[in-house]
Amino acid sequence: MTARRLRSTPIPGTRDSYTGVDFNLGYHIRHYRLDLDYRVTPNRLDGTATLTLDNYVPLKRMTLDLANTLTVRKVRIIGNAAHPIRVQKTRHHNGKLAITFSEEIPADSEFQLAITYGGSPRPIKSPWGEIGWEELSNGALVASQPCGAPSWFPCDDTPDEKATYDFVISADNPYRVITNGTLQQTTRGGSRTTWHYRTHNPMASYLATVQIGEYTELVLRADGTPVRAYLPASARAYFEHDFADQVRMLDVFTELFGPYPFRSYTVVLTEDPLEIPLEASALSIFGRNHATGEKTWERLVAHELSHQWFGNSLGLAQWNDIWLNEGFACYAEWLWFEKSQGTPAAVPAKRHYDILAQLPKDLLLADPGPEAMFDDRVYKRGAIFVHALRTLLGDDAFFTAVKRYVAGGAHSVVEPIDLKTAMTSACHTAGVPIAELDHLWNTWLHHHELPPFPEPHP
């Protein structure tokens, strides 16, 4: 079982200070089974979510996250028949589904909840735009970071609560359903097909996705770690040019960061344009505008792939640490060009450092605040800090420490202290005083001012 921190450990209080969403306390969801039926033309979603839970305190009442655009029809508890407990009442209001039981469920129980629901899923309005389930011109996609998962299923929508999933989703032919995990089977019946996918590693709810469209499959690599793409047939030539290095990227990052953390990697190219690409667990989503035949967005192809290590396998305990995801993913872009084109990472690092030097110095990397969590300064300052760590330690000690950090947090959650522990160990190996690491750590993470650009030791 994946190691995890109880809610009261990393985050004080009862509300996520970044998303503004109240925590769902008292239990963990270990597995979701989503049996869903989707009709594309009316954008209609109906189904049952079966949640496998255990509670770490006695539980008379609990809450889940679910958007009010979806209607709950029935909630029932599945548990120990020798000690039957039933759902006494439910209330669905303001994005929360509250469930009251007929009697208290003792601590450390295991039980299941089956929630039948349906409606027309819509994105959730948030300070970062509309997120979650989005209807396309010919299909649908899901992009939920940071709190859009309740737009399509009842969940505990917080980044440090990971679970495994079974997705059993029916859609009209000729639409293809693509989601996280390994395809177990497809079942065709009349004008519809049911697609069953299963994840083998736990993931955060915001990384669960569904992509529905008239896509053709393109196998980029069948052996080793399989790499597949799903795209409109008309985009194939542009895609093959712009994503020609996708497999090589995976091999390069495996060399730098350690084994690829999932069984396969999937790229979806939607028919619609997207403002930015989006990562999900073992899967990345790009818009038609990201395959133009000019390799304009090669850095983003690398960025999204690297999130499979940083963000998807190594999940966040809380959103204020988002630099752990985005700093490493941005630095991975520079590492890719260092390996593929021979451009040292120090070159883009210095270019972006000079840009940061001209921008306001009012952001703390360690806690940028919800308004700035997706600010490009978080990405670039985080990446330059990663470069500063590399410069301090030297390549051998730095990349050994990165691999140790990645392996230690695989398919769990991490905090900055986990990275610092790995880097501290590397200091001993490299003969670097711990005080130098501490100084670097404090100035880049906990001060507004921009520290000096990291230069190699003479």
* Annotation: binding site for Zn(2+): 303, 307, 326
Q: Do the strands 278-280 and 265-269 form a parallel or antiparallel pair, or are they unpaired? A: unpaired
Please name the helix (run of DSSP H) or strand (run of DSSP E) that holds residue 434, with its range, or none: helix 434-445
Kindly state the greatest CA–CA separation across the chain. 73
- 230 has catalytic annotation: no
Q: What is the DSSP letter of 307?
A: T
Cα-flanking dihedrals φ and ψ of residue 223, to 5°?
A: -100, 175
Which residue is catalytic, options 32, 165, 379, 405?
379
CA 428 to chain centre: 33
CA 313 to chain centre: 8
Smallest CA-to-CA distance from 49 within 182, 163, 131 is with 163
Please name the helix (run of DSSP H) or strand (run of DSSP E) that holds residue 247, with its range, or none: helix 246-257
Binding site: which residues?
303, 307, 326
95: left (phi over 0), alpha (psi -120 to 50) or beta: left
Which residue is catalytic, options 279, 298, 304, 415?
304
- 379 has catalytic annotation: yes
Q: What is d(CA 361, CA 159) in angstroms, rounded to the nearest whole number? A: 28
Which residues face 354 on adjacent strands? none
Q: Residues with catalytic annotation? A: 304, 379
